[in-house]
Structure formats: structure tokens, C-alpha cells
Amino acid sequence: MDRRKFLGVAAVATGMAGLPDIAEARQGINAGLSTSDSSDLAYLEGAFERHRGGYRGRPPSEVLGQMRADLDLLRELLGRPHPVSVRKDLARTAAGITGLVAIIQHDRGDQRDAVGWFATAEQAARESGDRHMLAWVLSRHAMVPLNYGAPNAAATMAIRARAEAGRFPSAAGALAAAVTARSLASIGDREGALRSVADARAAAARLDSVQGADTWFGYPAQKHHVHLSQAFTLMGRTREAYAEQEAALALTTSPSVMTRALIAVDRAACVRSDGDPTTAAALAVDAWSRLPMAYRDGLVRSRMDALCQSLPGSSGSALSEALVGR
């Protein structure tokens, strides 16, 4: 009898061919190999790529919930020993995933937790030795103080991010320049803000398709225009702000509830700066009424509150009533 046929017959005779727990054998073999974590590491790298694609029309809390199992796996892997090179790769992935959690917490308005996750992401980025990852984390971290009332701290952190990014074209470098422009505009340094706007434009023009990808880790054209809209709005340069808003909206092809809301707030603020607070309030109230409940907290609410405080008399009251009514 052919040897392979004989072995097959023997396996069936002993019951081994249909063994239901064969997966346990693979796990046992993996446990004895030095590369037994490779599949988990590869999975987490894929998870980072998948999650960094952004909300894609999903509420922040839903995206955060979908990341929970990956965070548990990341915690488990970080507790195991690894060769130095593997550990660096794992640290880089950890920086990316924890940075994404921090972004979501920022958007949800949980400032304290966002800062904590960004601190973890920064520690992981430093351990990985990847300066581009570190620059990205610092740039994103700077938006917490920027969007929640501490522009001086934001400017300091954004400048650190620019230093880490260096001169080589990168999404992190372009983002850092844009965040610096917004921070300086917030504190009234118009000359510095305009210089940073020019730097952001120059950096964005040099990005390749990978660096300019429409993800949380990239710096796509739409994101660029949204940042510059805010910078020009804060400077009171409404003509430039309107142009950036139109450019951003023209590029908003995928569901982007938060982006549209933030642009609407900028537009209302520009209308107020142009001397029409009544229309500004009406625009803001309309944008708020269209906003799903899942997005009526955090970043969008913070921007709406700031606009409300800048509107005089009945205009401010109209927006305030809409916000209180939720």
C-alpha cells in the first residue's frame, strides 16, 4: 500500500483525522516558538491601520467601543518579553493605537482622559524611536489645550511637534504647522499665525499620497482647509476663512458629521465678525438642530459655546436657548 494512503487510513482508524481540538495543538506549538507572538503583532498592526481610517460616519463612542478588544490584546502583548527590534515595532503600534483613543476622547470632550492617553502615546512613541510618530502624537495632543481654552500651552506643544518632525515632508509636520497657526491666532499673534499658515501650506504641497491620505494619521487636503478655516476665522480674516470653508466642503465626499458642524460654526463666527450677529446665530442654531444627539457634546459643543459667548443680546440668547434645549 502507498505510504501516504496507509498513514491516512491509520489516522482514520485511530480517530485522529477528525480531532476537534486541533487548534489547541497550534497554540501549544506557537507557545514553544520564539516568534509565537507574530500573529498577534501582525493583527495589531492591521488594527491600527483599520482604526486610523476615522469615524466614517460612526459616532465617537461607537468607534471607541469597537477598539476595546484590541486595547486588551495590546496590554497583554506589552506584558510579554520581546526581542529589542520586535519591542520597538510593538511600541510604535502602541503609540498609534493609544493616540487614536486619545483623539476620540478629545472629540468626546473628556479632556483629562485624552491627556492621559496622549501621555501614554508619547511614552510609547519615544520608546519606539520613531520621531515621525512622536511628532504626530504631539501635534494631536496640542489640539486638546487648543480646543479647550489653553492656546498658549497648545502653541508650546505644537512648536515641539514641529521640531520633532524636522524638515522632511510629513503629515505630522504639516499638522504641527497648522495647529501652531491656530494656536497663535487664538492668542492674538497674527504675524506668527500667518507665517505658520504659509508653512502649513508649503508642507501640505510637498506631501505624497501616503502622507496625504484621508486618515487620522495622514494630512489630507480637507483637514488642511478645516485647520486654516479656523486659523483665519480666529484672526478675523473672513474672506480667507470663507474660501477655506468652501474648499473643505467641496472635498467632504464621505459622511463627516463633525467636520460639517465645525465648518458651520466657523462660518457663523465669520458672519458675526462681518457685523451680522442675528444671521450668525441663525446659522449656528440651524447647524445645531441638524446635528445628531451623539455629536452634541465635546468638541462641537465647545465651539458652539464659544460662539454663543461672542454673540450680543438677543442673538446670543437665541443660540443659548437652542444649546440648552439640546
- pLDDT of 141-199, one tens digit each? 999 999 998 999 999 999 999 999 998 889 999 999 999 999 999 999 999 999 999 99
Grid coordinates representing 263 are 465648518
Helical packing angle, 298-310 and 257-273, nearest 10°: 10
To the nearest 10°, report the CA torsion of 48, 54, 58, 59. 90
Query: Averaged over 215-224, what is the pLDDT?
Result: 93
Q: Which residue has the higher pLDDT, 296 or 266?
A: 266
Distance CA 184, CA 274 (A): 22
What pLDDT sits at residue 27?
58
Q: Give the whole-number percent of the chain exceeding pLDDT 70.
A: 87
Distance CA 53, CA 73 (A): 20
Q: Lowest-pLDDT range, 53-62, 97-106, 117-126?
A: 53-62
Query: Averaged over 99-109, what is the pLDDT?
Result: 93
The domain locations on the chain are 255-326
What pLDDT sits at residue 9?
46
Say if residue 24's pLDDT is above 70: no
Q: Lowest-pLDDT range, 69-83, 249-263, 300-314?
A: 249-263
Query: Averaged over 41-54, what is the pLDDT?
Result: 88
Q: Which residue has the higher pLDDT, 24 or 288?
A: 288
Distance CA 45, CA 73 (A): 12
Which residues lie closer than 8 Å to 322 by C-beta, 6 or more apart? 284, 285, 288, 289
pLDDT band at residue 14 using 50, 70 and 90 as cut-offs: very low
Query: Averaged over 82-99, what is the pLDDT?
Result: 92
Say if residue 28's pLDDT is above 90: no
What pLDDT sits at residue 55?
86
Query: Averaged over 297-321, what is the pLDDT?
Result: 92
What pLDDT sits at residue 4?
45
Say if residue 13's pLDDT is above 50: no
Say if residue 37's pLDDT is above 90: no
pLDDT band at residue 325 using 50, 70 and 90 as cut-offs: confident
What pLDDT sits at residue 309?
93
Q: Which residue has the higher pLDDT, 22 or 167?
A: 167
